Structure 1
Amino acid sequence: MNILVLGSGGREHALAWKLHQSHSIENLFVAPGNAGTAEFAENIPLDVSDFEAIREVVLSRGVHLVLVGPEVPLVLGIQDYFKSTPSLTDIALIGPSKAGAQLEGSKEFAKKFMERHGIPTAAYRSFGKSDVEQAYRFLETIPPPYVLKADGLAAGKGVLILNEIQEAKSALREMLVEAKFGAASSRVVIEAFLSGIELSCFVLTDGKDYKILPTAKDYKRIGEGDTGLNTGGMGAVSPVGFADAVFMEKVESRIIKPTVEGLRKEKIPYSGFIFIGLIKVGDDPFVIEYNVRMGDPETEVVIPRIQTDLVELLRATAGGTHKETDLVIRKEAAATVMMVSGGYPEAYQKGHAIRGLESVKEAMVFHAGTQKDSNGDVVTSGGRVLAVTALGANFKDSLRKAYAGVSEIE
């Protein structure tokens, strides 16, 4: 089987690494990929939003299945493009339709969807540019902290949590009137703050049935001890200790089942991953947000814990045969530690040489922001550069091994 993975980060490296292990793989392509994926797959330089270029690659390379890593192509409608293009209709693509991708592409859509299907989430209201005064009055009716969310995709930067009412009003004006996040903040969702502890739940669905993948928890702040600026994610662990069987039964019955059934009832085509950002308030789960793809760096701890052949899981997803497949999860815990460029998440340089990768023995190194220079050497090409992942008896053991791997790299 020939498979194309779209994307270039640690998530895509981890997915491609798992696919590469399958006996069903004949040729594996990653577009655009990175220095890590180049070790076992053919990297193809293209823009993941250029559907015509993707079509040419799929047809010229005899691709049977496309796995979409990032959210942007999904929100732009790549699944619909494949379904409506005669030469691509027989090609399986893992990812929801444009309608389904609204779960991530529009916070307002997601909130209304949860309302319709009785899925627990924070109380909210949404506002447009002409509703600024109404939005101010609404802010005055709720207690701090104030949660403001740009409705559309804002590269992970569109959520603000503010403690002061005047600060919240000022930020709201910047978002709606001054277009702080461009078109993404043409509408803003204001929601009640939920106090609890967060985790990520991942589901793979064929549109009718589903598999619940391992839970994970990521850590955003740049500094040790949860300090400093927020980032795209500095590391993650799996499984999540507090997500026991009783809690996960609530997650499945109150959130996962109603989500999959809601999509089916509304006739929204969806075959792919659903990433549910959850918060545990007391003993109960609430949805913070939906994403329509795997998370990063959570993928780097979730995928290594899956024992089942990923190709077979994706075939079942595309073919609507999840009921006939089994998902086997490894008992070991996983931890990943992100190595980032100096200065990240603010200004940083690219092009620094990376050494010591071959010295890492007890961990896996997933490339997030790397490429090969003209001499074939691996160099940095982003803020988050490497995710060093290890398996162990528990998360402390796996974290120790991951840091041992980190110590080998400069």
Structure 2
Amino acid sequence: MNVLVLGSGGREHAISWKIAQSSQIDKLFIAPGNAGTNQVGTNVDIEADDFQGIKKFCLENKIDYVVVGPEKPLVDGIADFFQDDPEIRHIAVIGPNKSAARLEGSKDFSKQFMKKYNIPTAKYQTFTKDNLEEGYAFLDGMKPPYVLKADGLAAGKGVVILNDLNEAKDELRAMLEDAKFGDASSSVVIEEFLDGIELSVFVITDGQSYKILPEAKDYKRIGEGDTGLNTGGMGAVSPVPFADTAFMDKVENQVIIPTIKGLKNEGIDYVGFIFFGLINVKKDPFVIEYNCRLGDPETEVVIPRLKSDILELFEGVATRTLSERDVVFDERAASTVVMVSGGYPGAYEKEKNISGLNGIFDSMIFHAGTKQDGPTYVTAGGRVLCVTSYGKKLEAALDKTYDNLKKIDFENAYYRKDIGFDLEEYD
């Protein structure tokens, strides 16, 4: 089986690492990849949104499966591009089509969908610059904090939470009238703030059946104690101690099953991963958002805990036989902590030599923003790499991760030292 993975981050390295272990893999390519993916497959100098370049490569290399890591190619319709072209229609794309990807691509669409199918979520209303005054009035009727979400994709920066009413109104105007997030904020969803603790739940589906993957909790803020600016993710853990059997039964019955049934009822053929961004409010799950792919850095703990052959699952998706496949979890806990460039998520420097990578033996390193310069690895992004470890308990996994992080260094490197500590009360 020849497989092409699209993307260049830690998520794609973890997926590629898992695919490389499959007994079914013949050739594995990653486009464009990073210095880590090149260790498990062959990097290809094609961007994930270059559909014509991807088509050409797939035909020349007899690709059987295209696994789409990031959301943008999915929202832009890469699955439709393959399905509509007779030359490449036979190649299976692991990822939803453009219509299905609206679950992530449009906050308004996903909120309407949840409301229609009684999926628990925060109360909301959507506004454009044409009814800005109504937006102000809606804010007047709410209690702080105020949650404003750009409708479209905004590279993870389109959600703003403010405590001051006037600041919230100024932000709404900036998003709508000043196009703060470009076309992504031509519509803005304002919703009530839900007070609880967040987690991520993932399923893979062939449009008919689904399999639930290990859950995870990620940490988005740059600063310890969940302070400072939002990032693409500073670490993650799995399993999540408060996601016990009773809670996960609620997730499956109140969220997952209605979502799968709702998609079928809407005539939306959803194939691939669904990422449920949830919040636990007094032991009840509410959906904060949907994503149409795996999360990052959650993938770096979810995929290591998946004992099943991932290509078996992809084959089940492609042939609509997923119900016949088994999903087996590793009972051990997994933790990952992300090492980032100094200044991230603001301006940061690149081309910093990374040392210590060869001294890690009992943890996994998943590369994100790295490249290779001869025998040397150098930084090439804000989130540079993450260290993932197993442990019988979460505390043991975290100890191992932090011990190994101390061995890796580059100029102005930074990582949070409190990942998972907020979960100690649930042990």
Aligned position for 2:422: none
- Alpha-carbon contact 2:157-2:230 (below 8 Å) kept: no
C-alpha separation between the residues in 2 aligned to 1:101 and 1:230? 23
Give deviations 1:332-368, integer Å, cap 9, x for gaps: 0000010111111111100011111111011000001
Which consecutive segments of 4 or more residues in structure 1 shift more than 6 A? Answer: none
Look up the match of 1:213.
213
Residues 330-349 of structure 1: matches in 2 within 5 Å?
Answer: 330-349=330-349
Given residue 332 of structure 2, which amino acid in structure 1 is its aligned partner?
E
Partner Cα distance (1:192, 1:343) in 2? 32
1:399 aligns with 2:398: yes
Residue 391 of structure 1 aligns with an amino acid whose one-letter code is Y
For 2:47 and 2:191, the matched residues in 1 are separated by 35
How big is each residue's C-alpha offset from its partner over 1:73-99, in whole Å with a ceiling of 9 and x where there is no partner? 000000111000011111000000100
Larger mean CA deviation between 353-362 and 68-77 belongs to: 353-362
Shift of 1:25: 0.3
Secondary structure class of the residue paired with 1:100: coil
Deviation of 1:222 (Å): 1.7
Distance 1:145 1:371 in 2: 41
Give the secondary structure class of the aligned counterpart of 1:302. helix
Q: Secondary structure at the match of 1:338?
A: strand
Matches within 5 A, 1:283-302: 283-302=283-302
Note if contact 2:13-2:36 (Cα within 8 Å) is conserved in structure 1.
Answer: yes
Post-superposition shift, 1:376? 4.1
Residue range with higher mean Cα deviation, 248-257 or 313-322? 313-322
The separation in 2 between residues aligned to 1:131 and 1:193, in whole angstroms, is 22
| Distance (Å, rounded) in 1 between the aligned partners of 2:362 and 2:40 | 20
Match of 1:304 in 2: 304
SS of match in other structure, 1:385: strand
1:235 aligns with 2:230: no
Corresponding position of 1:188: 188
- Cα displacement string for residues 90-141 of structure 1 (whole angstroms, at most 9, x for unaligned residues): 1000000100000000000000011111101000000111010010011111
Corresponding pairs, count: 409
- State how far apart, in whole Å, the 1-side matches of 2:69 and 2:354 are: 25
Aligned partner of 2:415 in structure 1 is: none
For 1:225-248, what per-residue CA distance to the aligned partner results, in whole angstroms no more than 9, with x for missing partners?
A: 323322111100000000000000
Which residue of 1 is the match for residue 163 of structure 2? 163
Which residue number corresponds to residue 370 of structure 2? 370
Q: Which residue of 2 aligns with 1:40?
A: 40
Distance (whole Å) between structure 2 residues aligned to residue 88 and residue 261 of structure 1: 29
Measured in 1, the distance between the counterparts of 2:145 and 2:408 equals 41
Give 5+ residue unaligned stretches, structure 2.
410-427
Structure 1 CA distance for aligned equivalents of residues 301 and 268 of structure 2: 30
Percent of paired sites with the same residue? 59
Q: Scaled by the length of structure 2, what TM-score is found?
A: 0.95
CA distance in 2, matches of 1:382, 1:282: 38
Structure-2 residue corresponding to 1:26: 26
> What is the 5 A alignment of 1:307-318?
307-318=307-318
The amino acid that maps onto 1:74 is L
Which residue identity is paired with 1:409? Answer: I
- The equivalent of 2:246 in structure 1 is 246
Normalised to the residue count of structure 1, the TM-score between the two structures is 0.99
Counterpart CA distance in 1 for 2:398 and 2:187 is: 41
Amino acid in structure 1 at the alignment position of 2:407: E
Say whether residues 1:223 and 2:199 are aligned partners: no
Write the distance in 1 (CA, Å) between the matches of 2:116 and 2:31: 38
What secondary structure does 2:353 align onto? coil
What is the DSSP-based 3-state SS (H/G/I as helix, E as strand, rest coil) of the residue aligned with 2:366? strand
Q: CA RMSD in A?
A: 0.8
| Residue 382 of structure 2 corresponds to residue 379 of structure 1 | no
Does 2:76 match 1:64? no
User: How far apart, CA to CA, are the structure 1 residues paired with 2:222 and 2:173?
Assistant: 28
What per-residue deviation string (whole Å, max 9, x for no partner) do you get for residues 16-72 of structure 1?
A: 000000110000000000000111211001121111001011111110000000000
Q: Tell which deviates more after alignment, 105-114 or 376-385.
A: 376-385
